Amino acid sequence: MITVAVDLAERSYPAVVGAGARHRLAEVIPPGARRAAVVTQAGIGVAVDPGIEHQVFLMGSGETAKSLATVEELCRAFARWGLTRGDVVVAVGGGVVTDTAGFAAAVYHRGVTVVHVATTLLAQVDAAIGGKTGVNLAEGKNLVGAFWQPAAVLCDTEVLATLAPRERRSGQGEMAKYRFLGVDDLLALPIDEQVAACVRAKAAVVAADEHEGASGRRATLNYGHTLAHALETAGGYDLRHGEAVAIGLVFAAELAARLGRIGAARVAEHREVVEAYGLPSTLPAGVDTDELVRLVQRDKKAVAGPTFVLDGPRGVEVVAGVPVEAVAATLADLTPPSRSLSGEQCR
């Protein structure tokens, strides 16, 4: 078992990585908590025992469940059960669960303790770590939320064996991101060490810039996410989150090259890393690039025109005021050519 400390002074907490980590839940429940509200989804099927009186609260599946309506439903259910400010919420699931249950914990009674039991690769290497919680609006992803650090995160690599291959690859989209944030190649490592390396990288960034301050360091964790979130908000494309992030990484590299920040070799490296995980590197067929241009301008980082996290001479950093024309041209370059019917097919 590997324990990584997320160092936030008096609010520091452990992220425990390894097979069977979920069985450590009772050890990380805060002293004094009498009840635990266990928030999960019907299809997850991971049972936990917090060691105190508890009740399971089910939320819906998919991104549509990551909503203010779900937060209201959870908070009202907590109130009916009698959950107090001294109790604890336990989120058991992937990023949709940890983001939504974490936000519900942040606002219920103006904040109750939350513990995350991350059951997907994506949640273990990214979503459950760092205290970002939030839900979506029709206008965009994660536009409503709060910073609310958990008391602990349990990353049980044993449950990853139950993931469908595509769901596992989705998590690898977030892992690919860390390659450009200073983490060495992960593919040769055992899964526990892969997850722990990503957790260490994220923990270091969060400790240095918990609330996305002026340094912009925490925003670098959103590398590849501006376009990814636009694709997810647009909807209608068969993409998991990590697949969208993978496309976003290649797009960000191509955009950085167009702006003269990096060269062709660095762009090729982005493609190689993404494709090594079996992830897509081009936009879906039939994509509406005009809609994507509109959506990236609504991204939560956009404070002075289109804003992206881009690679460059100083490494990955936030770049504001990116010309819309450059965004549109780069999207056009990543759009697969339409397939026309051959003369033989037309007969």
| Residues recognised as catalytic | 110, 132, 174, 202, 212, 218, 222, 225, 229, 241
Backbone angles phi, psi at 68, to 5 degrees: -65, -35
Residue with tokens 């240095």: 208
**Cα–Cα dist 28/14, whole Å:** 9
Instruction: Specify the DSSP class assigned to residue 125.
Output: I
**Cα–Cα dist 173/246, whole Å:** 5
Strand partners, 140: 137
**Cα–Cα dist 233/139, whole Å:** 7
Instruction: Specify the DSSP class assigned to residue 114.
Output: E
**Cα–Cα dist 115/91, whole Å:** 6
Instruction: Specify the DSSP class assigned to residue 312.
Output: -
- The answer to whether residues 140 and 227 touch, using CB atoms and an 8 Å cutoff, is no
